[in-house]
Amino acid sequence: MSRFRLLLTRRLPPDVEARAQRDYDTLPNPEDTLLSPQEIAACASSHCADGILVCAGDRITAEAVAQLPASVKVIATFSVGYEHLDVAAIKARGIVATNTPDVLTEATADTALLLLLAAARRAHEGNKLVRDGAWRGWHTTMLLGSDPKDKQLGIYGMGRIGQAVAQRARAFGMRIHYHNRRRLPPEQELGAVYHDTLESLLQTSDFFSINAPSTPETRGLFNAEKLALLPRGAIFVNTARGDMVVDEALLAALKSGQIRAAGLDVFAGEPNLHPGYAALDNVFLLPHVGSATEETRDAMGFAALDNIDAVLAGRAPPSPL
What is the pTM for the complete model shown?
0.91
**Residue 241 a catalytic site member:** yes
Q: Is the pLDDT of residue 1 over 70?
A: no
User: pLDDT tens-digit profile of 94-104?
Assistant: 999 999 999 99
State what percent of residues in the chain have pLDDT above 90: 98
Q: State the catalytic residue, choosing from 121, 124, 177, 288.
A: 288
Distances (CA, A) of 64 to 38, 68, 269: 6, 7, 20
Q: Is the pLDDT of residue 125 over 70?
A: yes
Q: State the catalytic residue, choosing from 121, 122, 195, 241.
A: 241
Radius of gyration of the CA atoms of the chain, in A: 21
User: pLDDT tens-digit profile of 280-300?
Assistant: 999 999 999 999 999 999 999
- The pLDDT value recorded for residue 2 is 74
**Residue 270 a catalytic site member:** yes
Burial class (CB within 10 angstroms; exposed 0-12, middle 13-18, buried 19+) of 74: buried
Q: What is the largest CA-CA distance in the chain?
A: 74
Stretch 290-314: mean pLDDT, rounded? 97
Q: Please answer whether residues 85 and 321 qualify as being in contact, where contact means their C-beta atoms are separated by less than 8 angstroms.
A: yes
**What CA–CA distance (Å, rounded) separates 20 from 311?**
15
Stretch 47-62: mean pLDDT, rounded? 96
User: pLDDT tens-digit profile of 66-78?
Assistant: 999 999 999 999 9
Phi, psi of 285, deg, nearest 5: -115, 140
Across the chain, mean pLDDT equals: 97
Q: For 148, how many CA atoms within 13 A lie in the half-sphere containing its CB?
A: 26
State what percent of residues in the chain have pLDDT above 70: 100
Stretch 114-128: mean pLDDT, rounded? 98
Q: State the catalytic residue, choosing from 270, 294, 297, 315.
A: 270
User: pLDDT tens-digit profile of 142-155?
Assistant: 999 999 999 999 99
Nearest CA to 126 out of 288, 281, 276 is that of 281
User: pLDDT tens-digit profile of 6-54?
Assistant: 999 999 999 999 999 999 999 999 999 999 999 999 999 999 999 999 9
Helix (H) or strand (E) run with residue 154 in it: strand 152-156
- The pLDDT value recorded for residue 303 is 98
